[in-house]
Amino acid sequence: MADTFRVALSGDFKKPDGSPTFPDFDLAPLQAAPGVEFAFLEAANPLRAEQLADFDALILLQPRFARESIHPNGRLSVVARFGVGYDNVDVPACTDAGIPLVITPDGVRRPVAVSIITLMLALTGKLFIKDRLTRGGPETFNKRAEHMGIGLVGRTLGSIGIGNIGAELFRLARPFDMKFIAHDPFADQAVAAELGIELVGLEEVFRRSDVLCVNCPLAPETRHLVNAERLALMKPSAYVINTARGPIVDQKALTQALTERRIAGAGLDVLEQEPPEPDDPILKLDNVILAPHALCWTDQCFAGNGAADVKAVLDVKHGRVPRGVVNRAVLDQPRFKARLEQYRGRFGA
């Protein structure tokens, strides 16, 4: 209908029984918005073009949005990804079709940074080891002196990337009195200076870090950026933390380094294969803490992601450029500008 702005949500936002997968994702603003209808799609991977033929916007969770997901009628005007990762979206296809891909940096910035701090404290404090010592009774309890933790004052916290999440990590880490270093070819110099971060080369961040965190996107140039050669540069007392994307780390090389105790340990919220195979050797190691790509999943994180996505699609409805556009070249395309103008005419700015 000409006076209706239709929003599709990928089917995995609902459980098989029809209840919401994430109750903290508040759909009330969509329900209350005049001239808006929304519907949940049937499960499909990738999404099919015919499913989206009658929609102006898509809020996407896990299914792939591929080139073949784009209907030739040109109605779909925005894809809003629930989170900041977008490896399930064909970005060039979106750009070619004049569709902006939007992510939710504000929703995940604090929750992911908190997840990194959680892993850092658990690793350096030997939390999981001490938990096992306690549960083992007197024999293991009395071995606690053999598992001394690592203090953080004066230690070096390193990050590969100081974008949205990396910068927030350093803000939260200030009270620990650590030294801050980072490698980021696209670093905002003013942000680095404000946070007291020394910008260094890639190899140097591996050599000097006591805790090294991966905070960069997955791209062809970052796949296996953390590899055997760079892990070999690290201190034997150092830890690696990855909450970004699994393939940024060569997991086979990391598993070998952990097995041979060439680094002290790792904290991984992401793996190269998710879920991992039951016989994956990394699952058997006692110097790695694992989480199922969900450590940042909190009520506040999902409420924030949902609110950001809803705002993005409503911005498009009113002819406004949404925040968090990944493929910013779309914003200069005449057809995208024409779509926004049409929406402004229909629904008002």
Catalytic residues: 245, 274, 293
Residues pairing with 214 in the sheet: 160, 242
Q: Distance (Å, rounded) from C-alpha 279 to C-alpha 249?
A: 19
Query: Hey, what's the torsion of the CAs at 306, 308, 314, 317, to 10 degrees?
Result: -120
Amino acid at 89: V
**Separation CA 58–CA 43 (nearest Å):** 14
Give the Cα separation of 211 and 205 in Å (integer): 10
Count CB atoms within 10 A of the CB of residue 115: 24
